[in-house]
Structure 1
Amino acid sequence: MTGAGAQSSGNPGLSPNLQGALWMLLSAVTFSVMTTLIKFLGDDYPAALQTFYRQAAGVAILLPVILRHRGAAFATSRPGILIFRSLAGTVGVILSFYAFQKMPLADANALSFTRTLWLVPLAALIVKEPVGPLRIGAALFGFVGVLVMVRPGAGGEFAIGLPALAMLASALLFAFTVTGMKVLTRDHSTTVILVWSAVLGFVLSIPGAILTWRVPEPTDLLLLCLMGVIATVNQACYIKGMSLGDAGAMAPIDYTRLVFTAAIGFFLFAEIPGVWTIAGAAIVVASTLFITIREQQIARSARLSAEPDAR
């Protein structure tokens, strides 16, 4: 159940939106810690190998669920969508890890928010959702922000390059996974979707790990495993936050990771966001926030219009 009226087993003295906000804040913190570890380990462990450890941690955490439910955890009538979603997600993780390793954290993080912009055309083409001119205009405005950040043809430090293209491609692939989830949730439980995603993601990450394999030092092994666990916890916190609170209220809190990663980049990696990065990120945040709030308003109107028929 979603929205402000959702019931929760959390603190009864806190409103659903406040509980959701706390989970979203924890999601932003864990995301920032995860990207810090990705960048810190990036000199010695390529993105494909880090992805293997991230997926292995997800399987380890879900293993008790898999053993308890067994066949039911894999029951599906849409294996094709689940396989495509896992493939897109695995490649998307590899590309995003590469971008976080090679780009300033603030830049890579800002570009990762373009996932919401990609969702607009995908919702119209795949899910057949009606997309009005306001959302189309907001998406186009957001991509202008991307151009401001990467400045194709510019000779500066933040000019477009392979890492920026990798993050944009990653955001597109993640948009496919979100669109696929919208289709799957019509007749699949969250558990089935998570189990397929974790197990297939792990299997699909093995070839890349073999090609880039190196035996990690004990400390590095601990950090790689910790990064994988934190990535899984981050996903769980995000889902929990969005399930408790209104999407329009939760979205601004998710953007706090821009602040966290910028601070970490400055203090740990001596990264200073440029004026073009800040300006472009502001445009992307404004457009994605508008799209999120607009979609929530449309969904609320649809529910209200359907209520008389349900009585």
Structure 2
Amino acid sequence: MSLVSAGRGWSARLTPNLRGALWMLGSAVLFTGMTTLIKYLGPGYPAALQTFYRQLAGVIILLPLVARDWRGALRTTRPGILIFRSSAGVLAMILAFYAYQELPLADANALSFTRTLWLVPLAALVLREPTGPVRIGAALVGFVGVLIMLRPSSDGSHWLGWPQMAALISAALFALTITGMKVMTRDHSPFTLLVYAAGLGLVFSIPPALFVWRWPTWPDLGLLALMGVIGTLTQGCYIKGMEAGEAAVMAPIDYTRLVFAVAAGFFLFHERPSPAVLAGAAIVVASTLYISVREHRLSERAVIEDQPG
């Protein structure tokens, strides 16, 4: 028996949720590796330049897949939304990279979770989804957690500075791209959206990168390429996890990246998250988990009610 067939047999014996959980854990570990490289390379390579290399690596990885059916991969009826979504995604990535460079990894990760909170008003305004008092209340509780994280400490290190603002704006922009994806999936495949996000994202990342351009050394080029590859693999693991398991079960596992971020920050960068950050992060995680699980249950109930008989 070959190692490949043995691996497939082992995977088949796992429940769908367990397979999904392993993919999600892999995504969390890879995401921590990517953000660690972002922070490590930060002093020599600004966020805009790192974003360019991240997008370039994604395009190179996708090219062989696009070559199989490039007409199908590029077929679209709404180029305007794709352009807007990609430009917002690039800006969100630049701001997120800047936040990971400037903030402790735990702080930046915790603030990135607010994208679920931003989805609440966006779903009401853009998708015209009904937003009840429970959903609004959970989002408001989550933002209270953000205020706790941002409260000034004795040395003033935790307040709404540029890195914190960048993290929050990035989360809002990522929420906007997710909202756009929900609109586009009605008549576009996920692969087509991924191809456009990578291709257009590379194009949009070039101008800001040129303003801070520097030629990397060969070792740094290897690390920048590795960062881009890890970023693409992170997305792949996340998608596989959500496909394999139930969304309500998979969502909590994504928050393990906060644990990995605390560990990486402590052991690699000697960072110690403050009690306020940990308390605020716990509130944000709890509120976003509640929103995610509740929305999943409501969607399941709607599917059951729509079934005949």
> TM over 0.5, yes or no?
yes
Q: Secondary structure at the match of 2:213?
A: coil
2:246 aligns with 246
Q: Secondary structure at the match of 2:11?
A: coil
1:273 aligns with 273
Task: Note the C-alpha offset of 1:11.
Answer: 2.1
Q: Secondary structure at the match of 2:68?
A: helix
1:255 aligns with 255
1:266-287: per-residue Cα shift (whole Å, max 9, x none)? 1110100001000100000000
1:3 aligns with none
Q: 1:145 to 1:111 in 2, by over 3 A?
A: same
The aligned runs of 1:25-36 (5 Å cut-off) are 25-36=25-36
1:232 aligns with 232
Query: For residues 242 and 81 of structure 1, what CA distance do their matches in structure 2 show?
Result: 25
Query: For residues 10 and 192 of structure 1, what CA distance do their matches in structure 2 show?
Result: 32
1:77 aligns with 77
- Unaligned 5+ segments in structure 1 are 1-7
Q: Give the letter aligned to residue 162 of structure 2.
A: L
1:75-133: per-residue Cα shift (whole Å, max 9, x none)? 11111111111011000000000000000000000000000000011111111111211
2:123 aligns with 123
Q: Give the letter aligned to residue 145 of structure 1.
A: G
1:173-218: per-residue Cα shift (whole Å, max 9, x none)? 0001110110111110111111111100000000111111111111
TM-score, with structure 1 as normaliser: 0.94
Task: Note the C-alpha offset of 1:243.
Answer: 1.5
Query: For residues 67 and 108 of structure 2, what CA distance do their matches in structure 1 show?
Result: 37
Does residue 1:19 correspond to 2:19, yes or no?
yes
2:307 aligns with 307
1:2-24: per-residue Cα shift (whole Å, max 9, x none)? xxxxxx99822111111110000
Task: Note the C-alpha offset of 1:155.
Answer: 5.0
> When the two structures are aligned, how many residues end up with a matched partner?
302
The 8 Å contact of residues 151 and 159 in structure 1, kept in 2 or not, is answered as: yes
The aligned runs of 1:161-172 (5 Å cut-off) are 161-172=161-172
2:296 aligns with 296
Query: For residues 300 and 68 of structure 2, what CA distance do their matches in structure 1 show?
Result: 37
Q: Give the letter aligned to residue 108 of structure 1.
A: A
Query: For residues 251 and 191 of structure 1, what CA distance do their matches in structure 2 show?
Result: 22
Query: For residues 245 and 101 of structure 1, what CA distance do their matches in structure 2 show?
Result: 33
Q: Give the letter aligned to residue 276 of structure 1.
A: A
Q: Secondary structure at the match of 2:45?
A: coil
2:4 aligns with none
Q: Secondary structure at the match of 1:11?
A: helix
The 8 Å contact of residues 90 and 204 in structure 1, kept in 2 or not, is answered as: yes
Does residue 1:178 correspond to 2:175, yes or no?
no
Task: Note the C-alpha offset of 1:154.
Answer: 7.3
Task: Note the C-alpha offset of 1:303.
Answer: 0.6
**Percent of aligned pairs sharing the same letter:** 63
Does residue 1:42 correspond to 2:42, yes or no?
yes
2:110 aligns with 110
Query: For residues 303 and 71 of structure 2, what CA distance do their matches in structure 1 show?
Result: 35
1:221 aligns with 221
Query: For residues 95 and 154 of structure 1, what CA distance do their matches in structure 2 show?
Result: 27
Task: Note the C-alpha offset of 1:256.
Answer: 0.6
Q: Give the letter aligned to residue 86 of structure 1.
A: S
- Unaligned 5+ segments in structure 2 are 1-7
**Deviates most, 70-79 or 116-125:** 70-79
TM-score, with structure 2 as normaliser: 0.95
Query: For residues 9 and 160 of structure 2, what CA distance do their matches in structure 1 show?
Result: 46
2:67 aligns with 67
Task: Note the C-alpha offset of 1:156.
Answer: 2.4
The 8 Å contact of residues 10 and 19 in structure 1, kept in 2 or not, is answered as: no
1:244-273: per-residue Cα shift (whole Å, max 9, x none)? 111111111111100101011011101000
Q: Give the letter aligned to residue 185 of structure 2.
A: T
Query: For residues 158 and 291 of structure 1, what CA distance do their matches in structure 2 show?
Result: 27
Query: For residues 235 and 172 of structure 1, what CA distance do their matches in structure 2 show?
Result: 19
Q: Secondary structure at the match of 2:215?
A: coil
Query: For residues 162 and 131 of structure 2, what CA distance do their matches in structure 1 show?
Result: 31
Task: Note the C-alpha offset of 1:239.
Answer: 1.0
Q: 1:10 to 1:49 in 2, by over 3 A?
A: farther
